[in-house]
Structure 1
């Protein structure tokens, strides 16, 4: 019997890229899958490819964010396959620009799809899972940007950090219903990373169907969409029944368990901390423990360096 035989999953934003890899892996493990994309041809092609590979899938064309889309996705799962067990919230968009150039629409669009879309879809799925009474799996997609920040991504960082915060809350709220909630933080060759010169050699290898250099797979934990899909299937399975409220990074040859935010240094002062006390003591108490921001990558080995696109 397959790992997820008899289970039904929804994967938002699964017409291509990482979402498509998740949908294929869940179907390969036996789950029936509701595929979602804003492009009808892309969504239907994804569902057809899953069916041709021996799986079961149906396509829903709708933008993630509105409650109406969330209801449509859950209704489709129940109507077509009789139940809902797994939700993977993967849909997303990018509107990258520095803070002082970011428009209201840039901000609202990204927050609407990522953060609101995750909220509305999870809320609708949980209502059904609780009524169904057999537990469930909520898997939300985060990002290193949400964990560490990234230049030019105020909106995306806010959304992805918010998703992880919601997951921790849902793990508390859903435990009694045997519904787990986890965040996956993928690092993989995508349309976004394809534009970053640092990853050019890895993306180039992936596009040729060749193995990525070990530097990327091992040292950076950077790989293909398929490298991420195994963790999605694991978290969707009964084997992960005790895993909830976690942020788990995955990419290439690496899996990481991210820590929850904790106080790094604690200092006490009788009577409280006035400005004068902070001015006098903050550097000694906290200066050496100030936290870094952004991701720091090691220098590329010479054989993996590529000229800049406009060089």
Structure 2
């Protein structure tokens, strides 16, 4: 099912579930998977969005079935896997894309706002991946879990305590599950996408360029695609199609970024600098040694603010 250079990826015979696939990135994923020949379970919370996405997959050449349900519960996860098995006879790939935002500064964020985002992103990824892993182990033919993370989970972002925590947890789960599912031949990777969506339109440096491209039907500017790594949702979908294919067999435990013209491999956390002291460290000794020792080159944090070129 792998492709050679210049030939389209062939996912014929593959059954894929994509959560939150009625619009935005998820919609692009199911359309690209369908165009590659995959059979797709489309999921969202609105019937009309699911129906439209199913029709789009079928127009693209794939088979599709829809499940209208909110992601998070075990019941929804089991229903999504059951839909794939009952309709297509198997499950090969689970893409955990569903998500919501409830942005708020720490001191203003409510319990409900925190819990809602964690439930959809983190618990939803867990329940859907668990249901998929059980089915894939039962089939005994391997498979792929594609978990959708975010730059906010890698770097942190103002106003996104809940979202950043969930997305960081998703990458940690990818590394853990890559170890746990290795013997079953199930690859587990996190995708870190950046794309022009309704959310990125709200960023002042991006909004005007995105709206102009949509109005004229033209391309996003080169500085955005290359320097910021931000392109269309279709740009990101290519990575999901690749990870669903035989060409990606054996790639596991990775966090892979994509957006615009950029494809990137994110580093995993590791010790950057180490100092040893016989008998351990007192607080005073840490203070005396910090700025010239372990802490001489502190790590940066936060998603860098985009900078549009000056006119």
TM over 0.5: yes
* Distance in 2 of aligned mates of 1:43 and 1:24: 12
Map of 1:307 onto structure 2: none
CA drift of 1:8 comes to 0.2
Q: Which moved more, 1:53-62 or 1:242-251?
A: 53-62
Map of 2:70 onto structure 1: 63
User: Residue 87 of structure 1 is aligned with which of 63, 86, 94?
Assistant: 94
CA drift of 1:204 comes to 1.6
Map of 2:266 onto structure 1: 258
Q: Which moved more, 1:45-54 or 1:234-243?
A: 45-54
1:248 aligns with 2:256: yes
Cα deviations by residue, 1:45-84 (Å, 9 ceiling, x for unpaired)? 1101211232211110000000000000000001111100
Q: After the TM superposition, which parts of structure 1 deviate over 4 Å for at least 4 consecutive aligned residues?
A: none
Cα deviations by residue, 1:106-141 (Å, 9 ceiling, x for unpaired)? 000000000000000000011001001111010000
* Distance in 2 of aligned mates of 1:75 and 1:270: 58
Q: How many residues align?
A: 303
CA drift of 1:298 comes to 5.6
User: Residue 205 of structure 1 is aligned with which of 212, 215, 220?
Assistant: 212
Tell me, yes or no, if the aligned pair for 1:186 and 1:250 is still in contact at 8 Å.
yes
1:160 match: secondary structure: helix
Map of 2:59 onto structure 1: 52
Unaligned runs of 5+ in 2: 2-8
Map of 2:5 onto structure 1: none
CA drift of 1:192 comes to 1.1
* Distance in 2 of aligned mates of 1:296 and 1:122: 31
Map of 1:269 onto structure 2: 277
CA drift of 1:283 comes to 1.4
CA drift of 1:202 comes to 3.1
The alignment's TM-score, normalised by the length of structure 2, stands at 0.95
User: Residue 166 of structure 2 is aligned with which of 153, 159, 162?
Assistant: 159
1:3 match: secondary structure: coil
* Distance in 1 of aligned mates of 2:79 and 2:310: 51
1:29 aligns with 2:41: no
Map of 2:131 onto structure 1: 124
In the superposition, relative to structure 1, how do residues 206 and 175 fare at CA in structure 2: closer, same or farther (>3 Å)?
farther
Q: How do 1:1-311 residues align onto structure 2 when only pairs under 5 Å count?
A: 3-208=10-215, 209-297=217-305, 299-303=307-311
* Distance in 1 of aligned mates of 2:213 and 2:127: 34
Unaligned runs of 5+ in 1: 304-311
CA drift of 1:295 comes to 1.9
Cα deviations by residue, 1:172-197 (Å, 9 ceiling, x for unpaired)? 01111110000000010112111111
Tell me, yes or no, if the aligned pair for 1:264 and 1:289 is still in contact at 8 Å.
no
Map of 1:306 onto structure 2: none
Tell me, yes or no, if the aligned pair for 2:290 and 2:296 is still in contact at 8 Å.
no
Tell me, yes or no, if the aligned pair for 1:206 and 1:224 is still in contact at 8 Å.
no
RMSD: 1.1
In the superposition, relative to structure 1, how do residues 43 and 245 fare at CA in structure 2: closer, same or farther (>3 Å)?
same
Q: Which structure has the highest helix share of the two?
A: 1
* Distance in 2 of aligned mates of 1:5 and 1:240: 15
